[in-house]
Structure 1
Amino acid sequence: MNRRTVAKYARAGCWQECVRRTPPRRSTSLDPYLEYLRQRWEEGEHTATVLHQEITAKGYRGHYQRVKMAIAPLRRGLPIDTPRERPPSPRQVARWITTTPPRRGLHATQALRRLLEHCPELDQTHTLVRQFAAMLDARDAAPLPDWLDQLAASGLTALASLANAVRED
């Protein structure tokens, strides 16, 4: 670790001081027009080009693309100024999967559940990892051959390779 990182952790009074905080949303040149865009959307105008032309006539000097991005949440049924959730990194997802469910935080549990609903391969991987963790917790290797068969039959190349490597060892 970098020396400054270690020093920051050493000075911290609690773990919250070490976690990155999301900065507050900055105001943009579009902010004064958000309420108008919301109102026009509810009136039935869903074309970004038309909305851009309307607010340009009212004094907006920004680009069309910003209007298009601002109304994108409305297309999904979300409020216009809702910040988008940043997708988790592969490392973060791996941590969520390998952490035992009772030790996961509420946010991590909900985010992992949403991911597993959208990705069947990840859901299958999660199930197999949790089965392996249960074997380790119980210190019982008896289910290992069946688990390796499940890995090989999973249809996921990386897991099948892992099964072959463990069998070779």
Structure 2
Amino acid sequence: MLDAGANPFVVVVCWQEGCTDSGRLFRELRERGYRGSSRSVRRWLEPLRSAETPTPKKSEAPTIRQVVGWLTRHPDNLSSGQELRLKRILASCPELADLRQHISDFAKMMKNLDGHLLPRWIKAAEGSELPPLHSFARNLHKDFDAVTAGLTMPYSSGMVEGHVNRVKFLKRQGYGRAGFELLRRRVLLTP
């Protein structure tokens, strides 16, 4: 550290005035009677440098996750800032604007249980310029009847999925060592 002959206040004042060169500070301190080494001055300045190092600003560009969230979220659930940023992104990328329209149409179909509109949506998706959307539409064709039923009927498999998840959790707790009988008892007796 700096010895008694050096006034730390002088170093801090010089630092705040913009003099961040340790060699220059060392020469100024020496003129004022400092008898230490330049290495001591550099070590004394390290905390000031780390405190003065500007933290990198968060990038102004949104992350992919943010944009996907804005595209898939209901427009009423976006803040005004998010909506403004999304509009700027959509204005600069017409493919995303097209994708947003397809997402919105599919969401309306899901919400209103309009499964009869699925063929029209698939045709529009296949006619778009977005290859991933073509792939999604092709996969909907593979199990068309089930997808149409899912978009039409008010029934949900949510409860069944919850029970399946619980059974899988109980099975994992046995680390593969529990036999069928133990698993059966745990499933039937666990509330």
What's the TM-score once normalised by structure 2's chain length? 0.44
Q: Answer 1 or 2: which has greater helix percent.
A: 2
What's the TM-score once normalised by structure 1's chain length? 0.50
Q: Indicate the structure whose relative CO is greater, using CA pairs within 8 Å and at least 6 residues apart.
A: 2
